[in-house]
Amino acid sequence: MTFATRRRGKGHRALNEVTLDVGKSEIVGLVGESGSGKSTLGRVIVGLQESYTGTVSFAGEVLAHRRSIVQRRAIQMVFQDPYASLDPQMTVWQMLEELLIVHKIGGTRDARRERCRELMRLVHMPASLLDVRPAGMSGGQRQRIALARALAVDPQLIVADEATSALDVSVQAGIINLFADLRDQTGLSILFISHNLAVVRSLCDRVAVIYQGEVVEVAGTEAIFNAPQHDYTRQLLAAAPDLP
């Protein structure tokens, strides 16, 4: 996969012949320095970037650059800033119900309300917050709501783009555990994009390292951290603070 853009009037390849796979019920970490192409790759996979060469395949099907509503349901994204990604004028119930109506999930208002309660249970949030707007919640609660919104349409893959970086360290742990629980309970696959190597090591089954738009190394998590093969991977680990 290649994605080209323009920077300062010149052609620039944000992604260059990238190949990456995520297995069923697998959590794959994607790491690299700022500007390496992590978020761009996530947006291409989700379908937010339509202009690229190459293919995105899901469950044996090559996805069109402009996705159908069924294809969009299969792959969802959780963004870095939960406050920016949630509508401040809508309650949690209104945001979730809107999605359910668009995707024709739950035939009646009561059925949709029950589905929303189920989503709140999945992300370990009280149903009473369904009638609250984002401003009335903490950062960790907002991110759980953002995750509930992604889960509302029963996706098979979630792309989490720096989903814990805007949160306090104490709150991060709860969100990390939630991702792991969701994988174990629902069989969800997750592409976890992060700068935080300690979080990636604790959560992910495999790690892909991206450098200047190219995936330079992919291996099991412990292999990456204990025996990195690529020079850039070694430099990335050496630049990180002490890892547990």
Cβ atoms of residues 178 and 147 within 8 Å:
yes
In DSSP terms, 57 is beta-bridged to 62
- Residue 86 per-residue DSSP state: S
CA distance 202 to 78: 19
Instruction: Note the pLDDT of residue 14.
Output: 72
9 burial class (0-12, 13-18, 19+ CB within 10 angstroms)?
exposed
Q: pLDDT tens digits for 76-119?
A: 999 988 788 899 999 999 999 999 999 999 889 999 999 999 99
Residues of the chain with pLDDT under 50: 6, 9
Look up the pTM and report it: 0.90
Tokens 């999945």 belong to residue = 122
DSSP characters over 53-81? BS-EEETTEEEPSS--HHHHHHEEEE-S-
CA distance 159 to 45: 8
Cβ atoms of residues 155 and 101 within 8 Å:
no
Strand order in the sheet with 27-31: 75-78, 157-161, 189-193, 27-31, 206-211, 214-220
Sorted by where each starts, the structural domains of the chain and their CATH numbers stand as 3-82+155-239 (3.40.50.300)
Instruction: Note the pLDDT of residue 244.
Output: 53
DSSP H helices in the chain: 38-46, 69-74, 82-85, 92-102, 109-122, 139-151, 169-186, 197-203, 221-226, 231-239
Query: What number of residues does the chain have?
Result: 244
